Amino acid sequence: MNIALFGPPGAGKGTQAKELSKHYKIPHISTGDILRANVRDATELGLKAKEYMDKGELVPDDVLIGLIRNRLTEPDCEMGYLLDGYPRTIPQADALTDILAEINKPLDAVINIEVSDEELVKRLSGRRSCSCGESYHLMFNPPEKEGVCDACGSGLYQRDDDGEEVILQRLAVYNEKTKPLIDYYGNEGLLVNINGAGAVDEVFRDICNVMDQHK
């Protein structure tokens, strides 16, 4: 099953992808997670990416295209993949089409999680993250013990790009550079819209209904 989860920052892509990856046993490929791991490890890529990420800008296409090519050619993608946060521009989508043709794993569907701007701001400003990859929300999905990850017991933190000013910039960048991909994949007949406003398990069920058609 070859799926891209699409939607604005805060739509719930990471939350859903984590569960979907377990359910369908396909790797969750989050370019944001890969970039943050590089920032944490202070790699050359991480140092370059951080400048853009902290400002709510997109990391340049050539960097992302190289990164996704390397990741998609790893052996765990043999059974399929679940993309989260890639592609975010038309050049990234064009490059993805070429890479997927080379490895003979074309997309089955692009699942667009739709959430209002007002709700996105609430979700992003209340998000609390853990270095193990788990993420919580102060009100909508709080951890059992305040400030502590249920999964690994580490302290939770607020992402540098989840402050109010950067959130607004990220939403503006989404509208300008990423949203045009809705028409792009609509024209390819791959786009499926999902209402992302409901509870996590409701959205999960709706996405499974789409993915089950591609098993």
Identify the residue among 58, 65, 109, 194 touching ligand AMP (CB under 6 A): 58
Q: Does 12 bind ligand AMP (CB under 6 A)?
A: no
Count of CB atoms situated within 10 Å of the CB of 152: 11
Fill in the amino acid letter for 212: D
11-30 binders of ligand ADP (CB under 6 A): 11-15
Closest CB to ligand AMP among 67 and 109? 67
What is the widest separation between alpha-carbon atoms in the chain?
47
End-to-end CA distance of the chain: 6
Cα distance between residue 58 and residue 53, in whole Å: 7
Closest CA relative to residue 112, chosen from 5, 3, 1, 2: 5
Cα distance between residue 18 and residue 77, in whole Å: 16
Q: Does 200 bind ligand ADP (CB under 6 A)?
A: yes
Distance of closest approach, residue 172 Cβ to ligand AMP, in angstroms: 11
165-184 binders of ligand AMP (CB under 6 A): 170
Closest CB to ligand AMP among 92 and 212? 92
Distance of closest approach, residue 187 Cβ to ligand ADP, in angstroms: 24
Contact indicator for 93, 4 with CB cutoff of 8 Å:
no
Identify the residue among 199, 205, 212, 213 touching ligand ADP (CB under 6 A): 199
Active site residue 205: no
Active site residue 128: no
Q: Which listed residue (18, 69, 122, 159) is catalytic?
A: 159
- Output the DSSP codes for 54-111: HHTPPPPHHHHHHHHHHHHTSGGGGG-EEEES---SHHHHHHHHHHHHHTT---SEEE
Active site residue 71: no
130-169 binders of ligand ADP (CB under 6 A): 135-137, 140-141
- Give the binding site for ligand ADP (CB under 6 A): 7, 9-15, 123, 126-127, 135-137, 140-141, 199-200, 203
